[in-house]
Structure 1
Amino acid sequence: MASSGSLPSLARQCRDRLNDGRGRIESRFRAGLPSVQTATALTDLYDDVIEKIWQDSLERASSSVKASQLSQLSLVAHGGYGRRDLSPYSDADLMLLTTRRSAAAAAQVASTFVRDITDAGIDCGFSVRTPRECCTLAWADAKIYTSLTESRLCFGNEQTYDRYFDRFRAGARRRRNYLNHQSLMARREERQKWGETNYLLRPNVKRSRGGLRDIQLVRWLGFATHGATSLEQLNKLNALSDEDYGTLRRAHAFMLRLRHELHFRTKRAQDVLDRPTQLDIAEDWGYQGRSGVLPVEDFMQDYFEHTRGVRYVAAYFHDDTRIRSRAAGAVESVMSRRIDEDIRMGPTHIWVKSNTLERFAQSLPDVLRLIQLANHHSRRIAHPTWQAIRKSMQDREATPPDQPAVDAFMELLKDPGRLASLLRRLHELRILDQLIPAMGRCRGLLQFNAYHKYTVDAHCIRAVEAATDFIDAENSMGRRYRRLKDKALLHLALLIHDLGKGYEEDHSEVGRRIAGDVADLFHLSADDKDTLQWLIHKHLLVNEVAFRHDLNDPEVVHKFAAEVGSISRLELLLIHTVADLQAVGPDVLNDWKMGLIEDLYLRARRYFETGNLPGENEADLDSKIEQVKESLAEKKLDPSLIEFAKDMPLSLLRQHSTDDLIHEMYQVGEWLTQNPGCYCAGAVDPAASAVRYTIVLRQGERRVGVFARITAAFSACGLSIMRANVETVGEDLLWDQFWVNDPELKQRQPESRIEEVCRVVTKALDDPDSVMPTPRRVWQTQGSKEPSSVLLLPTKVLFDNDTFDHQTILSMFTYDRPSLLSDISGTLSQLDVVIQFAKIDTHLDQIADVFYVTNLDGSPITDSDRQETIRNALVDAVRKPVP
């Protein structure tokens, strides 16, 4: 028996052995050791260290426990350690298996074993159980069951282990339906927690959808259904086809290599693939990228291709393990009807008769016709039929579609039904690649920024899904969608609208050419081809106009209407725009943006119907203005202020109800009558999840600097500006509105916090010669902000002098940071640039700010040298370090 003094020495020896072993294995890994062999080497290293601790624990217990009792014990590895699938810093799940008679011996061994293995540096999940306890706990807890399916005897009594595992495997086979369901539910819950892979910008290579855990899911389902967890065994049992076996093996090798890489880099158990690491690994693994595609996007495209394959194989394998009751099958068959000589349809499913299934599955037109029928009648395609189609399409040589296939596909696109889910199936089978060749290039293509949360192909199908969801929407979008007589063209446009991405050229230009190729391939009419190309080419037009321009300006609406040309195209474009935005990701399309889109639509439609532009012959607005003036007159407000009502910008008139507008104008009027300084008021805006501040002041001689001082004041208060509208009422009155995010509002009473902010704003504006407010220093925890290495898009500063003769549109696109708007506006002020109108839009890490600007004398900024000076100064302001 080892003395107590030798215990620290053993722990140190084991810890050193573990660290040295990891170092040697890392060197071999860097030299090209395959990922599976790396995992095996790491498992052997763990086994070696654990055996020494195990033997020492047995020896220490032998003085007080009978050798016959110790000989009945078994040390069992399970989970990843059990299947010999470790990464460098993986934990080790261990179970001390005991009989009832050796329970006391097990307790004594466990007390020293757990302490020593922890001291040695292995994160260990440990339990002591009898075979009966193992099974009882496994049937009640899916987490325990799934881990025990991959048990391996490390050391100890082989008979004890065999009795346990034989009993466990037999019990699992008897309960296979229940256990498979529980395993699937546990995996689904974990996936929801960690997110869908094709959505996440920072996937978890183990737990996200399509990751290593879904390969394990196949093993778990295979254990209960076939008694085996090894993918190779499942393949030999014909439970896993050669194609699916190959897909899982390749994905496992790729993702295991990636997991090893993450562990070795961080020297800890790290499974999250964040964006800086994506960049580093893409470079280290030798990804070169290609024209229009960054190396990191190339790397992630490979990653998503593997996770997609795993996802599909796991889904089909699960369907194979499901046992449908004979009664349900009989009801489906008895109540079915014949669609044609090959197809039958029941209450819930549609299928192809078994005697013609092999021939049917090889015909692309027939397969597309079946899918179209399933969509039209809202039926699911029976699993045996899907499996036959899947196998046939995997073996089918890719060829251009013939006319019957094209006709069947266009028929499919007409019905909303289950269109999106069926398109995903077609994409999985690579049928979409054959119908639309450009789809193959975008398969799994990631745009490396925080705005686009889905791969290009996934986003396009989600856009179709967003549109088809309008069929049941009880709102204006739903009514517009239902009015479309032929929805196929819209669905086709959404399906291909972003396939021009991944090229150096603007994706809308490339997309227009792709749309032309698709139209020719599908033999669309000349009119439909023109509409399809126009819709793809202009699919960002509504966003550009609604979010970046003054919709009260007649020239803006007139130019937009001229681009669109008709009400029918306007409605197509609007539905396309909204579906596209909804498909980008959660919270991209908020109430504010939807309001701007609707505003633009109504103004353009009114122009098409009446020929009137904003402000022309709008009886409702004229009536509102008169009501406001009469009410303010009754309140005996200064007549000069009452006259401001007729000069109110349309945005302010439309934004408020008559009563709210009267109240706000009265408040402003009273303030300006009694105070020489600015008016500032705030209110919580629940619809925007923000605080809206209204700031009004007489401009006087100050032509520049007001906007800069307001943004600096907000920044000094720790506010983040989400959006802003800057307007001028009459010749002299500035009327600005800001929607801000205020982190302190949750800890403060809104009224007192708003008063505090307004004091800072009024102090900054009422004394224009005072020192500019200093931005508040923002303390950020590690990981709360991504490093600059992932900010790959260049800052853009654009000048537009074509839209207006009297002012310049300055657009700025860059990554957001604290106090950025304050620095931008301060820079413009220093350069004597007058801001006449502004629209500020921030989403996640990016901003798109638009300013209508002039020189001090009111002229547009047309001089190229002055533009370059402004551009360089703004770029420098963006690069300014955060205090």
Structure 2
Amino acid sequence: MTTASCKTLPTERALRLPAARQRLDELRQQISIRIAQHSTGLQITSWFSEQVDDLLNQLWNGILTEYPAEFRAELSSAIALIAVGGTGRGDLAPYSDIDLLIVHRTAGGERWHEFAAQFVRDCWDAGLKLGHSTRSIPDAIRMARDDTQFATSLLEARLLVGHKPLFDDLMRKFQWNVVRGRLHTILSSSIAERDKEQAAHGATNQELEPDVKRSPGGLRDIHLIRWLSQLRTGSSDPEALRLAGLMTRDELLRLVTAYDYLLSIRLTLHLAAGRANDILTRSEQVRIAQDRGIEASGGQLAVEKFMQEYFRHTSTVSELATRLVRKHLPSRWQDVLWRPVVTHRVDTIYRISPDQIDVPRRFRNQLASLEDLLRLYWSAAMYKVPFADDLEEFVSTRTRELPETLTVEAGRIFLDILSRSRCVSRILRSMYRTGVLELVLPCFRHVRCLLQFNQYHQFTVDEHTLRAIEAAESFAELQSPLGEAFREIRHRDVLFLALLLHDAGKGYEEDHSEVGRRLAIEAAQRFRMASYHRDTVVFLVHKHLMMAHLAFRRDTTDPDVLLRFTHEVGTVDRLRMLYVLTAADITGVGPGVWNEWKAELLDNLFSGAMQALSGNSDMPQMIDLQSRVLSAVVDELSRPTTGEEKERIAKVVKQLFTTLPRHYLQGNSVERISSDLRIVMERRPDEIHISGRYEPETNSVEYRIITRESVAEGCFHKIAGALTSQRMEILSAQISTTTEGVIIDSFRVNDIDHSNEVPQFRLDEVCRTIRSVLTGETNVNQLVERRRRTIFSRPLIAGQFSDLPEQVLIDNESSERCTIVDIFAHDRPGLLYSISRQLFELELSIVLAKISTHLDQVVDVFYITDKRHQKISDPERLQKLELLLHECISRVNYV
């Protein structure tokens, strides 16, 4: 063995490593104890980091004792162990990676690598997960120049053990060769890396399952502020930014408070998972709210109160990081040269350039009231430019000094801003950031960072509201009924005010539409609105769910439904506003929630209501429409024939046409009706026709089944079961039964086994499964249960994440012919099958079904009749139906 070789001391190492593992376990247990003793996040992470430092030192020195004295002496002046990244920062969580850099002199590199490799192995064996590299100083400097992530990890580097002159040499060369003269390059690259990371974890600081480290407003934004401080002041402590005049005392306090808060959340996430975990999932939110002793009150769940507190901290961090970054990013030289040339003065104190509005510092004391600030925003809206960065910062500071008093002129200016198209959403976001919006509408303060704890909303109430306004504004560009409706709205200030208020009633014990109605009355009075506009705002806020309710849950081909709706809406202008508000509200729920199917349903309701409100009689329109459809279908089916054969086909088609239900005729195209009737005419009486067709526009599959009631009894629940067994997510279903007993059913599904186009073999496989259950070859209940056991064996947790009750509502008033059953439930595979099977066992027929995700909950709606095709009128039977459906829902407990 050479002097540079490690001695073989298996006994010492065998004792040292288990002791290190035990020590690490004890430290993690101590964290739990310190949390229970109410130590702060900063205190705990700092203490834990110090203990990990000691552990690393012990492992390092333990290996040194295994080498000859001569080698130890040589090593002491040739190598250094440096904490970088989070380890250097000293804010480690229980299962954080330990970020280390082992630096050695260039000469004798192989020997230093041998020692370093042994140290790394011992760290891993002791239970420490390393993120490390071993480099010479020239190699480290090259790496720092090429890799921004590596460079930022060195900004908070600390020497743990080893040769200090070597560490000092590294840091001196890092400052000279990497940092000096490259501040903007490093900062810009760091921001780009952060933005990329945040894009992968949600583009808003109010995402409902945030990553505590990587989501906007999380710990990564605090790291960015620390890096900026290090680059600008030579210290990573944000206190240095305050001393340099780059941050106020209040901002520093809020930043440190948020830092401490986020670290405390991260600690408990790691401990609960027993591993590194930074995702604040719904279940973790519930647990942490309980652990912190937060109680529900005032219509808010405990978890909603906890997350509102969380989002307020992340909003603070996000806003500070954004402002500091903007302030220190370099301006383009073109802007520096040309902005003074193209800038002009407006109203004495405003300076307008093509890309911003500013107020020189010597004039800013003239922005002394809410009215003054709103005039500034009005000018920004007029010229369609944002505020200069430091101007928005100034407005935020001034806002804290102002009362909520709204003068007549201030109210007029605000409403005039809302009437400006194509910039309203941007202006309102700025008002929200600066606090001006809450001075104008004090009720909006309640929904700031307010969580909606359910499966379907992806954003907090405030973020959802602002996104809904952005969506409404974007409709101006659409060449569609929705776009046309938006462009024809004359009083857009009324629409946008209603959008601002539509969910302001959330977070109270009472229904949010009722609370919203009162808030809308107060707001209209605050703005001294004319009575007609006041009544319209109140109507839109109070009834903002009505159109979605009818379009997605009722048979809008029923003239009575349309008549009641148009009577309640009252005017064409209100109808347009409600249509746009409804579409914007759904779009603002989250990506992918608004789709072609929902657009078509709303378009149909809007079109029918518009005809009625425009003075056109609905019944002649309906008769004319059916006559035109009949004529087109007859032409389509009899085209290849002539003479008597053509007349015979026309007679058969006309006879079939009289048997078709109204919702089928209005809900299908001429091509689809022609295709269906051709199959009905050509098939044998006992034949079952089944087809599957992939639709790329919606990335869904339509399965269509045509047969007779006598051939396939209980057709609906059997098809639903067959689709469930094949892992289909049922999106919608259209059930149509002619007066002669012919069934034409259509199911639109999402095939979760295929993310893109569904191949033909899969379509054929599903069709075969449907056929086997309809013919009785396969027992559908056994098929569903077998699939449930093998795939859907995870206990249902969706219901734990919403305060919305699962309920069954029976409506015997809205339809003359049918009893309507509304089932509100948390979605899970097998639900539709179980409900429809229960209805079949009760000898009830499903005339029409609407399966949809409502704005807050999954809603399945069934129009049902008894065997005599009559609505159910017996009170005892209705009560039994409600009870059995409740039991049915509660039995479906697996997903």
TM-score where L is the length of structure 2: 0.93
1:707 aligns with 2:719: no
Q: 2:501 maps to which residue?
A: 496
Residue 569 (structure 2) aligned to one of 551, 564, 571: 564
Partner secondary structure for residue 802 of structure 1 = coil
Alignment of 1:243-642 (within 5 A): 243-324=250-331, 328-357=335-364, 359-394=365-400, 396-613=401-618, 616=621, 618-632=623-637, 634=641, 640=652
Q: 2:675 maps to which residue?
A: 663
CA distance in 2, matches of 1:707, 1:660: 20
CA distance in 2, matches of 1:413, 1:535: 16
CA distance in 2, matches of 1:212, 1:534: 43
**Mapped contact 2:349–2:360 kept (Cα < 8 A):** yes
> What is the identity, as a one-letter code, of the residue corresponding to 1:851?
F
**Mapped contact 2:242–2:252 kept (Cα < 8 A):** yes
Partner secondary structure for residue 578 of structure 2 = helix
Q: 1:516 to 1:320 in 2, by over 3 A?
A: same
1:813 aligns with 2:833: no
Q: 2:164 maps to which residue?
A: 158
CA distance in 1, matches of 2:119, 2:726: 56
**Mapped contact 1:668–1:679 kept (Cα < 8 A):** no
Partner secondary structure for residue 390 of structure 1 = helix
Q: 1:744 to 1:293 in 2, by over 3 A?
A: closer
User: Offset at 1:245?
Assistant: 0.8
**Pairwise CA RMSD:** 2.6
> What is the identity, as a one-letter code, of the residue corresponding to 2:462?
D
User: Offset at 1:418?
Assistant: 2.9
Q: 1:26 maps to which residue?
A: 32
CA distance in 1, matches of 2:479, 2:820: 38
Q: 1:127 maps to which residue?
A: 133
**Mapped contact 1:625–1:646 kept (Cα < 8 A):** no
CA distance in 2, matches of 1:102, 1:228: 34
User: Offset at 1:753?
Assistant: 3.5
Residue 770 (structure 2) aligned to one of 755, 761, 777: 761
Count of residue pairs brought into register by the alignment: 878
User: Offset at 1:205?
Assistant: 0.6
Q: 1:856 maps to which residue?
A: 867
CA distance in 1, matches of 2:528, 2:719: 57
CA distance in 2, matches of 1:110, 1:262: 32
CA distance in 1, matches of 2:67, 2:467: 62
Residue 202 (structure 2) aligned to one of 195, 207, 211: 195
1:689 aligns with 2:696: no
1:149 aligns with 2:155: yes
**Mapped contact 1:173–1:225 kept (Cα < 8 A):** no
User: Offset at 1:708?
Assistant: 2.0
Structure 1: gaps spanning 5 or more residues: none
Q: 1:84 maps to which residue?
A: 90
**Mapped contact 1:197–1:307 kept (Cα < 8 A):** no
Structure 2: gaps spanning 5 or more residues: 1-6
User: Offset at 1:643?
Assistant: 1.4
User: Offset at 1:474?
Assistant: 3.2
Q: 1:174 maps to which residue?
A: 181
Partner secondary structure for residue 362 of structure 2 = coil
CA distance in 2, matches of 1:868, 1:4: 78
* 1:501-552 deviation line (CA, Å, top 9, x unaligned): 1122211111111000000111111111000000111111111111111122
**Mapped contact 1:73–1:99 kept (Cα < 8 A):** yes
**Mapped contact 2:106–2:136 kept (Cα < 8 A):** yes
Task: Name the stretch that deviates more: 632-641 or 554-563.
Answer: 632-641
> What is the identity, as a one-letter code, of the residue corresponding to 2:131?
G
Residue 886 (structure 2) aligned to one of 862, 865, 875: 875
Residue 811 (structure 2) aligned to one of 784, 800, 813: 800
* 1:610-651 deviation line (CA, Å, top 9, x unaligned): 432267455344122023235545476595565112443444
CA distance in 2, matches of 1:632, 1:345: 66
1:726 aligns with 2:735: yes
Alignment of 1:203-214 (within 5 A): 203-214=210-221
* 1:126-172 deviation line (CA, Å, top 9, x unaligned): 11223333332222212112211111111122222222223323441
Task: Name the stretch that deviates more: 416-425 or 32-41.
Answer: 416-425
**Mapped contact 2:853–2:859 kept (Cα < 8 A):** yes
Alignment of 1:40-59 (within 5 A): 40-59=46-65
Partner secondary structure for residue 793 of structure 1 = coil
Q: 1:86 to 1:746 in 2, by over 3 A?
A: closer
Q: 1:783 to 1:73 in 2, by over 3 A?
A: farther
Partner secondary structure for residue 614 of structure 2 = helix
Q: 1:96 maps to which residue?
A: 102
Q: 1:650 to 1:688 in 2, by over 3 A?
A: farther
User: Offset at 1:780?
Assistant: 4.9
Residue 140 (structure 1) aligned to one of 143, 146, 155: 146
TM-score where L is the length of structure 1: 0.94
Q: 1:7 maps to which residue?
A: 13
> What is the identity, as a one-letter code, of the residue corresponding to 1:662?
S
**Mapped contact 1:39–1:87 kept (Cα < 8 A):** yes
* 1:686-714 deviation line (CA, Å, top 9, x unaligned): 22322212222333599x73322222232
Q: 1:280 to 1:75 in 2, by over 3 A?
A: same
**Mapped contact 1:795–1:814 kept (Cα < 8 A):** yes
CA distance in 1, matches of 2:78, 2:31: 35
> What is the identity, as a one-letter code, of the residue corresponding to 1:275?
R
Q: 2:76 maps to which residue?
A: 70
User: Offset at 1:96?
Assistant: 1.0
CA distance in 1, matches of 2:711, 2:669: 33
CA distance in 2, matches of 1:617, 1:399: 53
CA distance in 2, matches of 1:783, 1:92: 35
**Mapped contact 2:416–2:493 kept (Cα < 8 A):** yes
**Mapped contact 1:552–1:614 kept (Cα < 8 A):** no
CA distance in 2, matches of 1:489, 1:844: 23
* 1:325-383 deviation line (CA, Å, top 9, x unaligned): 566334212322110121121232211122111x1343221222112211221222222
**Mapped contact 1:72–1:157 kept (Cα < 8 A):** yes
Alignment of 1:781-800 (within 5 A): 786=797, 789-800=800-811
Q: 2:4 maps to which residue?
A: none
Partner secondary structure for residue 684 of structure 1 = strand
**Mapped contact 2:722–2:780 kept (Cα < 8 A):** no
Q: 1:485 to 1:747 in 2, by over 3 A?
A: closer
CA distance in 2, matches of 1:290, 1:814: 24
Task: Name the stretch that deviates more: 296-305 or 398-407.
Answer: 398-407
* 1:236-294 deviation line (CA, Å, top 9, x unaligned): 22222212211111111111100001111122111111111111110110111212110
Alignment of 1:222-237 (within 5 A): 222-237=229-244
> What is the identity, as a one-letter code, of the residue corresponding to 2:162?
G
Partner secondary structure for residue 66 of structure 2 = helix
Partner secondary structure for residue 777 of structure 1 = helix
Percent sequence identity is 32
Task: Name the stretch that deviates more: 661-670 or 498-507.
Answer: 661-670
Task: Name the stretch that deviates more: 96-105 or 123-132.
Answer: 96-105
Q: 1:678 maps to which residue?
A: 688
Partner secondary structure for residue 472 of structure 2 = helix
Task: Name the stretch that deviates more: 814-823 or 359-368.
Answer: 359-368
Partner secondary structure for residue 210 of structure 2 = coil
Q: 1:308 to 1:292 in 2, by over 3 A?
A: same
Q: 1:781 to 1:8 in 2, by over 3 A?
A: farther
User: Offset at 1:748?
Assistant: 11
Q: 1:748 to 1:701 in 2, by over 3 A?
A: closer
